[in-house]
Amino acid sequence: MSTPTARYLVPFHPKQLRHFFTDVLIVGGGLAGLRAALAVDEKLSVLVVTKDTLQESNSAYAQGGIAAVLAEDDRFEDHVADTLAAGGSLCDVEVVEQVIREAPERIRELVDWGAKFDRLGNQLALGREGAHGRQRIAHAMGDATGKEVIRTVIGQIEKAPNVDIWENTFTIDLLTCEGTCRGAILWNRRHGRTMVWAKQTILATGGAGQLYRETTNPDVATGDGMAIAYRAGAELRDTEFMQFHPTVLYIAGSSRNLISEATRGEGARLIDRYGHRFMADYDPRGELAPRDVVSLAIVRQMEKTKHPNVYLDMTHLDAAKVLARFPSIAAVCAEFDLDITRDRIPVRPGAHYMMGGVTVDTAGRTTLPGLWAAGEVTSSGLHGANRLASNSLSEAMVYGVRAGHGASLAAAEQHDCFHALPLENERIDSPSEPLNLADIRNSLASLMWRSAGVRRDAEGLGEAAENIDRWRRYVLGRQFSDPTGWELQNMLCVARLMISAALLREETRGAHVRTDFPEADDAYWNRHTTFARDV
């Protein structure tokens, strides 16, 4: 990459800023971050910071559910095999086995805390999603699983006397000294910039879907955690692997709402503009093929039929059941004059889940001492090149517990580091010409969608690299004073890492489809891409 990345985005001097001390700092208030907070020993102080409110994480938007071996006749081996098959040989088998074996316990814990999962009699009702060999997806309120899970975990957090929450607080950078993470520099409207000194820090900031014009992710998913970890020197892995969800509502003027894969699990069909049910033309598993296969098939069918979308059709299903199972989807579609029991729903793929991220070991430890991570911000080895549907909430909980527990033990052993360190960063002269940041952000999202979307090739990726490098030269050379600028700087950092990895990987694997290298190259590429900045 031709533009060096500054170590810190803002100028600071410890004598001019407010200081705050905590045993464990958790950056990110989604499921992984909150679950990590609950795993820290109650004798230790925990500060959770989130750039929006606790309700605005990606986790809260999860519709489909949580995949786990919950039925008596299901087997861990089968869930493991489905996860590995979807992951395109890049999963870490040990991680897959551990997460899948622990997932049922994490779900039972949610039930004990009051989560109201949907039931059939006295059993959990289990749905089906793509590439699962059987029904194993626990869900809540039909299609609002994330909301219910987050509601439940917030209820537990409110009872935890040692956990403080700062909402609407942006984490600008991690503070590092002598190769160890010591906390972070944060900003909120109330206090301005604050140096938070922490014995141990956990990153749980979620994904980066906002880098793409078409995405299911909320506005907060701008890749901040990956960018701040990279600037601090932690290793990032497999950044070329962004998962595209096949069915995102495509109506001019609507936000790109997810239309859950669980709809296809209940029998919804994908048809093109002429009513042709096309999935069998691409894969014998039809609508329940893995996500990478379905997304690619949809893009090809859109091209073939010269139409900007395909349609999800549930009109042949029992209307009362459809409305009971998918109330949120029905409500969103109704706002656009669509009755999901009578009308076909216009859909196309959109960026959904970042499989690459900050490298963590099986304890949730990153390569930077003092820094742990959990959830979508990480590359743990669970998802490989293509995540199996509904495995992410399980990962968030399992790794939340691990990172929280690991950070807790490490912090408890540190007795001598509750003091500010003489870290500072100088002010630089920023050019006076104002920048239209929204314009650059929109251009970046369009460029990423065009060049690093469902399909990529060297020419498009090269064009993206050139453009991003040009934007980086004049955006990263400035010091901004509010989140709009910092977010854009983070997005440009992560986008460039995604493009670099996508250019390097000259093969097709999972969600990374190179039209100029259409086959998998197992002899050379059955391995990870990694990046770490010299600090």
Say which DSSP state 30 is in. S
Residue from 63, 215, 378, 379 in contact with ligand SIN (CB under 6 A): 63
Q: Are strands 310-313 and 236-237 parallel, antiparallel or unpaired?
A: unpaired
Q: How far apart are CA 518 and CA 231, in angstroms?
A: 33
Residue 390 in contact with ligand SIN, rule: CB under 6 A: yes
Of residues 220-259, those binding ligand SIN (CB under 6 A): 258
Q: By C-beta, is 64 or 104 nearer to ligand SIN?
A: 64
Q: How far apart are CA 259 and CA 264, in angstroms?
A: 10
Of residues 464-503, those binding ligand SIN (CB under 6 A): none
Q: Which residue is nearest to ligand SIN (CB)?
A: 64
Q: How far apart are CA 513 and CA 452, in angstroms?
A: 9
Closest CA to 25 of 350, 372, 483: 372
Question: In terms of residues, how long is the chain?
Answer: 535
Q: By C-beta, is 64 or 286 nearer to ligand SIN?
A: 64
Phi, psi of 355 (to 5 degrees): -85, -30
Total residues binding ligand SIN (CB under 6 A): 11
Q: Which amino acid is located at 110 in the chain?
A: L
Q: By C-beta, is 23 or 313 nearer to ligand SIN?
A: 313
Q: How far apart are CA 125 and CA 136, in angstroms?
A: 9
- What is the per-residue binding string for ligand SIN in 353-372, x denoting contact by CB under 6 A? x-------------------
Least spacing, CB of residue 237 vs ligand SIN, in Å:
20
Q: Are strands 357-359 and 378-379 parallel, antiparallel or unpaired?
A: parallel
Q: By C-beta, is 359 or 386 nearer to ligand SIN?
A: 386
Question: Both tokens of residue 114?
Answer: 């009051």
Q: Which amino acid is located at 476 in the chain?
A: L
Site stretch for ligand SIN (CB under 6 A), options 85-93, 117-125, 260-268, 527-535: 260-268
Q: Which amino acid is located at 346 in the chain?
A: P
Residue from 28, 30, 33, 64 in contact with ligand SIN (CB under 6 A): 64
Asked whether 239 and 377 are in contact (CB, 8 A), the reply is no
Least spacing, CB of residue 465 vs ligand SIN, in Å:
29
Beta bridge partners of 25: 47, 201
Site stretch for ligand SIN (CB under 6 A), options 11-19, 57-65, 160-168, 202-210: 57-65
Least spacing, CB of residue 329 vs ligand SIN, in Å:
10
Say which DSSP state 188 is in. E
Site stretch for ligand SIN (CB under 6 A), options 31-39, 119-127, 156-164, 387-395: 387-395
Asked whether 454 and 242 are in contact (CB, 8 A), the reply is no
Asked whether 48 and 164 are in contact (CB, 8 A), the reply is yes
Residue 82 in contact with ligand SIN, rule: CB under 6 A: no
3-state DSSP call for residue 353?
Answer: strand
Residue 68 in contact with ligand SIN, rule: CB under 6 A: no
Closest CA to 270 of 251, 239, 252, 296: 296
Residue 349 in contact with ligand SIN, rule: CB under 6 A: no
Phi, psi of 18 (to 5 degrees): -75, 145
Q: By C-beta, is 62 or 84 nearer to ligand SIN?
A: 62
Residue from 23, 235, 238, 261 in contact with ligand SIN (CB under 6 A): 261
Residue 389 in contact with ligand SIN, rule: CB under 6 A: yes
3-state DSSP call for residue 66?
Answer: strand
Residue from 392, 394, 451, 508 in contact with ligand SIN (CB under 6 A): 392
Least spacing, CB of residue 394 vs ligand SIN, in Å:
10
Of residues 89-108, those binding ligand SIN (CB under 6 A): none
Neighbour-count burial of 335, counting CB atoms closer than 10 A to its CB (0-12 exposed, 13-18 middle, 19+ buried): exposed
User: One of 291, 402, 456, 514 is an active-site residue; which one?
Assistant: 291
Site stretch for ligand SIN (CB under 6 A), options 61-69, 222-230, 231-239, 516-524: 61-69
According to the 3-state scheme, what is the secondary structure of 310-329?
EEEECCCCCHHHHHHHCHHH
Least spacing, CB of residue 461 vs ligand SIN, in Å:
25
The kind and range of the H/E element at 152 are helix 145-158
Q: By C-beta, is 84 or 262 nearer to ligand SIN?
A: 262
Least spacing, CB of residue 370 vs ligand SIN, in Å:
31
Least spacing, CB of residue 376 vs ligand SIN, in Å:
10
Beta bridge partners of 179: none
What does 467-528 look like in DSSP terms, one character per residue? HHHHHHHHHTTS--SSHHHHHHHHHHHHHHHHHHHHHH--S-BTTB-BTTS-S--HHHHSS-
Least spacing, CB of residue 65 vs ligand SIN, in Å:
7
Catalytic residue flag (residue 300)? no
Give the N- to C-terminal CA distance of the chain in Å, as an integer: 15
Report the interhelical angle of 31-39 vs 392-412 (nearest 10°): 40
Residue 45 in contact with ligand SIN, rule: CB under 6 A: no
Least spacing, CB of residue 3 vs ligand SIN, in Å:
34
Q: By C-beta, is 163 or 262 nearer to ligand SIN?
A: 262
Least spacing, CB of residue 260 vs ligand SIN, in Å:
3
Residue from 46, 91, 249, 262 in contact with ligand SIN (CB under 6 A): 262
Residue in the structure block whose two tokens are 């994490």: 106
Residue 260 in contact with ligand SIN, rule: CB under 6 A: yes
- Residues acting as catalytic residues: 291
Residues in contact with ligand SIN by the rule CB under 6 A: 62-64, 258, 260-262, 353, 389-390, 392
